[in-house]
């Protein structure tokens, strides 16, 4: 643990839920938060130690249900992962150096053919207002396989999955090693978590062994890491912005997302987050909005929609967003973080249950689609919704 031990991610209040909530209790919190303008409650993730996780004989179903089940927040964290603290710092401290490479170098790291889902991306995403998001830059890469396929037809059809990594070997040679090391660790821990998710979710379900989350992710060539860097603001541009000022409300599409706690810096020195209200917000299954925190030495994991559908709702994805810090103390603050999106292979045949409560209209009568086909249908759906 470094000197910034009081950072945002380390302020750890009560767990969710602190006690079985009644409908009236949840409703009263919602009304208080929305009508009085008070800050939503802050909750700590359900946490599992790495030693518990790697014990395949351990019954972690109660904690899996508490974090990922129908009454959970769709997120839990893993603590005491060997080597994680140094790997997190190694990669996140490279984010400002990457973002401050010359414009010509960053241009060479862009990949328009993949819709900027490999290499460097800045100003390509749009905010809720429709304006380009220039506040943050992203670097995408597959931490496991540099070139998932060389088949031109697949690269053309699924460019965001089948493209090749682009590394700044000459200008930032440490990035590839640090990115792959952290990405692989988060994937390995996520695979252990997937094993226990299967033990919880597949009880009483008639499925083949190779259809569980762990086996699906083990076969995949599609895992994608994203290193995010938020540029320092010269003045308080976030004053009055919404709760989703850094990242809009969304539900992850894939299977399982691994997250690091963010690293904040000012003038090249690591600092704590200057605003207690900034951070990750989750909307519960009852519609209540809460702020979620976990320790900077922990890896957080969130469930994606694909896992929710395939588990028949036993593992639940939740909408979430990220709020930027506000106030004078936020001036000049930069933020770095990393996410690993664990998802099925593009040609993985997904067998959907007869009835699903999300995207039912996308599922064919035979209940079978590849993950690539399912993604295409989702993109078409969201594209038309935005038209």
∠ CA 196-161-250, rounded to 5°: 65
- Report which of 141, 69, 155 is spatially closest to residue 113, judged by C-alpha positions: 155
- Assign 354 to helix, strand or coil: coil
Q: Please tell me the predicted confidence (pLDDT) of residue 9.
A: 38
Cα distance between residue 209 and residue 229, in whole Å: 40
pTM: 0.86
What's residue 253's pLDDT? 87
Q: Where are the beta strands (DSSP E) in 63-178?
A: 75-79, 119-122, 136-141
* Consecutive 10-residue averages of pLDDT for the chain (387 residues): 35 36 29 51 96 97 96 96 98 97 97 92 74 85 97 94 97 98 98 96 69 93 96 59 66 93 92 90 91 96 91 90 84 94 94 71 78 82 50
Helix (H) or strand (E) holding 2: none
**C-alpha distances in angstroms, 107 versus 31, 81, 117, 328, 346?**
48, 36, 14, 33, 28
Report the sign of the C-alpha dihedral through residues 249, 251, 252, 257, in that order: positive
What was the pLDDT predicted at 245?
A: 61
């945002």: which residue's tokens?
A: 8
Number of Cβ atoms within 10 Å of the Cβ of 70? 11
Exposed (0-12), middle (13-18) or buried (19+): which is 157, by Cβ within 10 Å? middle
H or E element at residue 159: helix 159-162
At residue 83, the pLDDT reads: 98
């Amino acid at each position: 643990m470094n000197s910034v031990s009081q950072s945002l991610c380390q302020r750890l209040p009560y767990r969710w839920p602190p006690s079985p909530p009644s409908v009236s209790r949840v409703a009263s919190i919602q009304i208080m938060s929305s009508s009085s303008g008070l800050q939503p409650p802050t909750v700590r993730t359900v946490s599992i130690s790495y030693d518990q996780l790697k014990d395949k004989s351990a019954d972690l179903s109660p904690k899996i249900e508490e974090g990922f089940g129908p009454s959970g927040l769709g997120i839990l964290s893993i603590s005491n992962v060997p080597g994680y603290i140094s790997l997190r710092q190694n990669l996140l401290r490279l984010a400002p150096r990457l973002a401050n490479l010359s414009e010509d170098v960053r241009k060479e790291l862009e990949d328009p053919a993949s819709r900027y889902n490999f290499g460097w991306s800045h100003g390509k995403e749009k905010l809720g207002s429709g304006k380009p998001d220039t506040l943050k830059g992203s670097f995408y890469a597959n931490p496991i396989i540099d070139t998932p396929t060389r088949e031109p037809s697949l690269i053309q059809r699924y460019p965001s999955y089948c493209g090749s990594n682009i590394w700044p070997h000459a200008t930032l040679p440490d990035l590839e090693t640090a990115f792959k090391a952290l990405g692989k660790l988060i994937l390995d821990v996520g695979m252990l978590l997937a094993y226990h998710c299967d033990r919880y979710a597949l009880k009483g379900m008639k499925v083949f062994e190779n259809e569980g989350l762990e086996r699906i992710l083990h076969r995949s060539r599609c895992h994608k890491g994203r290193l995010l860097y938020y540029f320092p603001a010269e003045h308080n541009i976030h004053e009055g912005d919404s709760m989703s000022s850094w990242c809009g409300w969304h539900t992850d599409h894939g299977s399982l997302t691994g997250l690091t706690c963010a690293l904040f810096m000012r003038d090249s020195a690591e600092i704590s987050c200057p605003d207690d209200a900034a951070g990750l917000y989750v909307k519960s299954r009852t519609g209540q909005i809460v702020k979620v925190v976990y320790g900077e030495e922990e890896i957080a994991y969130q469930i994606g929609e694909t896992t929710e559908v395939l588990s028949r709702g036993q593992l639940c994805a939740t909408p979430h967003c990220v709020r930027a810090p506000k106030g004078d103390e936020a001036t000049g603050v930069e933020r770095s973080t990393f996410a690993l999106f664990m998802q099925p292979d593009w040609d993985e045949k997904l067998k959907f249950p007869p009835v699903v409560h999300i995207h039912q209209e996308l599922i064919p009568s035979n209940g079978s689609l590849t993950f690539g086909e399912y993604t295409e249908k989702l993109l078409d759906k969201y594209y038309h919704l935005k038209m």
